[in-house]
Amino acid sequence: MSISIIPIGRCFAGEVSGVDLRRPLSPETVAAIDSGMHEYAVLVFRGQDINDEEQLAFSRALGPIESSIGGNITRLDQRRLGTDIADVSNLDQNQNIYARDDRRRLFNLGNRLWHSDSSFRAIPAKYSLLSARSIPVNGPNTEYADMRAAYDALDDKIKAEVEGLICEHSLTYSRGQLGFTDFTEEEQQTFAPVRQVLVRTHPVTMRKSLFLASHAGTIVGWPMAEARIFLRDLIEYATQPQFVYVHHWRLHDLVMWDNRQTMHRVRRFNETEDIRDVRRTTISSDGPTTAQATN
């Protein structure tokens, strides 16, 4: 069995075949997956009936695992999964579907806003790997937007304007859009804003991309309102259909994306009735995208 990758969808994603993620992969296969990620930025592996350990082993072959602590407001004693896995499901620690007013459910609704994973951390995410262990029959889809193509299509005037800009990202900004204002002291500390460049350059391909996310709430040196509306305009522009791959989930899909080059969002579904058990492992990127403020 040897690995091959072919384009899927209307634009930039790739589908991988010839790989069994339950087994250790050769260094050559891992290297082929990495270069596939550089080219496509979203890769789909079908038919991967894996468990948490197998997902973690595959993820570790790709780089350091990001701890999921600090990424949502789940208390440690309320966790269903280990701390190396982000629980993106609608299930509580007893495998019951969250009640409609459960704060964890409401917080996770933020995944319906376009975002890049962990852009609210000083060292943001590189790859995310999302494994579908149980999914509703009729979706929801997850959508991915190509921030390289969006950058390339900017006119020169906007390219010059965004070059060198620094944004501040925080979960308080993204969740603030959903009406969350009641953060505890501890949450406010955990979610303190971090700085990220707005234009990133991929370290291997050297392609530029827009580093946008719902978590971005300010542009350093800009009046707040002007920054917010500019970021909103950019996100609207960068997520037009010509830049978007829509993933239609099948059971045991594993979808992997490069957060440095894409944004994503999940669509609405009947989540107080249908079980959706999807689990994410996350690979850290190499370092901060900009020097952090020392306040």
By CB under 6 A, name the binding residues for ligand OGA.
88, 111, 117, 128, 130, 142, 264, 266, 278, 280
What's the CA gap between 279 and 221, in Å, rounded? 38
Cβ atoms of residues 150 and 12 within 8 Å:
no
Q: What's the Cα-to-Cα distance from 102 to each of 87, 91, 138, 179, 266, rounded to whole Å?
A: 15, 11, 24, 15, 19
Size of the site for Mn ion (CB under 5 A): 1
Nearer to Mn ion, 32 or 271 (CB): 271
What's the CA gap between 165 and 169, in Å, rounded? 13
Closest approach of ligand OGA to the CB of residue 277, in Å: 10
Cβ atoms of residues 238 and 198 within 8 Å:
no
What's the CA gap between 68 and 284, in Å, rounded? 11
Question: Which of 66, 87, 117, 258: binder of Mn ion (CB under 5 A)?
Answer: 117
Contacts of 131 (CB under 8 A, 6+ apart): 48, 50, 55, 252, 253, 254, 278, 279, 280
210: partner contacted, choices Mn ion, ligand OGA, none (Cβ within 5-8 A by kind): none
278: partner contacted, choices ligand OGA, Mn ion, none (Cβ within 5-8 A by kind): ligand OGA
Nearer to ligand OGA, 23 or 248 (CB): 248
Closest approach of ligand OGA to the CB of residue 55, in Å: 13
To the nearest 5 percent, what fractions of the chain are helix, strand and coil? 25, 25, 45
- Using the contact rule CB under 5 A, the part of the chain among 3-11, 12-20, 112-120, 224-232 near Mn ion is 112-120
- Using the contact rule CB under 5 A, the part of the chain among 53-61, 117-125, 139-147, 189-197 near Mn ion is 117-125
Closest approach of ligand OGA to the CB of residue 86, in Å: 6
Closest approach of ligand OGA to the CB of residue 45, in Å: 15
88: partner contacted, choices ligand OGA, Mn ion, none (Cβ within 5-8 A by kind): ligand OGA
What's the CA gap between 80 and 184, in Å, rounded? 23
Nearer to ligand OGA, 126 or 280 (CB): 280
Nearer to ligand OGA, 127 or 230 (CB): 127
Nearer to Mn ion, 87 or 117 (CB): 117
Q: What's the Cα-to-Cα distance from 165 to each of 162, 218, 235, rounded to whole Å?
A: 6, 10, 15
What's the CA gap between 162 and 165, in Å, rounded? 6
Nearer to Mn ion, 11 or 171 (CB): 171
Closest approach of ligand OGA to the CB of residue 8, in Å: 17
Q: What's the Cα-to-Cα distance from 106 to each of 79, 132, 177, 264, rounded to whole Å?
A: 16, 21, 12, 18
Q: Residue numbers of the site for Mn ion (CB under 5 A)?
A: 117
